[in-house]
């Protein structure tokens, strides 16, 4: 769920930050949006009315978008499209709590609008309210009209709650609706990693990477999983596609040190906050 992620213009600050960002995004092509880089961009809204991610834009452009849609929303709080677009722009500039508040109000005004419910569920997941997000997302589509994007976000929320087996079933359902979707495969791969099935995680992420040429987020997740299996030279080769040789070597060295200090995967990738595949698709 989500469009191509531009190459960050600022190199990885540390492998610790990288681990958190990679597992929290994915596919973001997933639940928190990736924030590194010179362009500000949210993951695409999980709605029928906004089905694809917009092209990456600068923060100034997103602020103009926020002003335009915010004005339209305030003129008519029942306008579902205005609420969704306004919230999307708010998320892009980091105002996620306000975005969730706008969408909460939109669900009151449009209680049966699946697009609004999907966007609100995604916003709740962005803010870490995973249980509530699952409840809202469960109302955002029906068995006779399933939405693969919403299924993938539901899987990401379940992963955040540690319910990896359930999450993987949601990803499988999403892939039945949209086979070979890289964002869902990336989320699934990270879910396997969280459940400590690193070989299956690697296989799945390699499949995702082969389908989405040029997406650094999927490659970086693949490199992390390869490194977690101790194949550091190979991991460094993968991240060199997006980083300088010096940066790649530095970050793989940090990963080595972290693995030496903490062998447990969840401790390694989850210091103080839950992690999961991205809900941004």
pLDDT at 220: 86
- 39-to-22, 75, 263, 264 alpha-carbon distances in Å: 17, 29, 35, 34
Question: How large a percentage of the chain has pLDDT more than 70?
Answer: 72
Instruction: List pLDDT tens digits, range 135-152.
Output: 999 999 887 888 999 999
Q: Which among 112, 36, 123 is positioned nearest to 85, based on CA atoms?
A: 123
pLDDT-based confidence at residue 39 (cuts at 50, 70, 90): very low
Report whether pLDDT(272) > 90: no
- Which domains does the chain possess? 15-269 (1.25.40.10)
Mean pLDDT value across the chain: 77
Report whether pLDDT(240) > 70: yes
Question: How large a percentage of the chain has pLDDT more than 90?
Answer: 50
Report whether pLDDT(8) > 50: no
Please tell me whether the overall predicted TM-score, pTM, comes out greater than 0.85 for this model. Answer: no
More confident position, 68 or 7: 68
* Residue count (the chain): 281
Write the DSSP string, 33-99.
Answer: PP--SSSB-PPPPSSSSS-SPPPPB-HHHHHHHHHHHHHHHHH-TT-HHHHHHHHHHHHHTT-HHHH
Chain centroid, CA 228 distance in Å = 21
Distance between CA atoms of residues 60 and 66, nearest Å: 10
pLDDT at 154: 95
**Residue 244 in tokens:** 């300088």
């Amino acid at each position: 769920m989500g469009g191509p992620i531009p190459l960050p213009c600022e190199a990885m600050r540390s492998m610790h930050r990288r681990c958190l960002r990679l597992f929290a995004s994915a596919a973001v092509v997933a639940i928190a949006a990736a924030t590194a880089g010179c362009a500000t961009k949210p993951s695409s809204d999980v709605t029928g009315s906004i089905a694809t991610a917009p092209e990456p834009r600068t923060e100034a452009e997103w602020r103009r978008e926020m002003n335009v849609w915010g004005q339209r929303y305030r003129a008519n709080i029942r306008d579902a499209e205005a609420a969704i677009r306004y919230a999307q722009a708010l998320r892009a500039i980091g105002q996620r709590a306000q975005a969730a508040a706008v969408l909460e109000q939109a669900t009151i005004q449009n209680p049966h609008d699946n697009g609004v419910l999907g966007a609100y569920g995604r916003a709740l997941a962005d803010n870490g309210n995973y249980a509530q997000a699952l409840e809202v997302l469960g109302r955002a589509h029906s068995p006779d009209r399933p939405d693969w994007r919403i299924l993938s976000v539901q899987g990401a929320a379940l992963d955040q709650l540690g319910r990896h087996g359930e999450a993987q079933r949601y990803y499988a359902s999403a892939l039945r609706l949209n086979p070979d979707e890289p964002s869902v495969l990336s989320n699934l791969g990270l879910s396997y990693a969280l459940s400590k099935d690193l070989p299956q995680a690697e296989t799945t992420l390699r499949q995702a990477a082969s389908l989405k040429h040029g997406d650094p987020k999927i490659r970086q997740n693949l490199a992390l999983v390869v490194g977690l299996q101790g194949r550091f030279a190979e991991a460094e080769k993968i991240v060199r596609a997006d980083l300088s040789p010096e940066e790649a070597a530095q970050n793989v060295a940090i990963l080595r040190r972290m693995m030496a200090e903490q062998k447990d995967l969840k401790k390694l990738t989850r210091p103080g906050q839950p992690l999961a595949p991205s809900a941004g698709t």
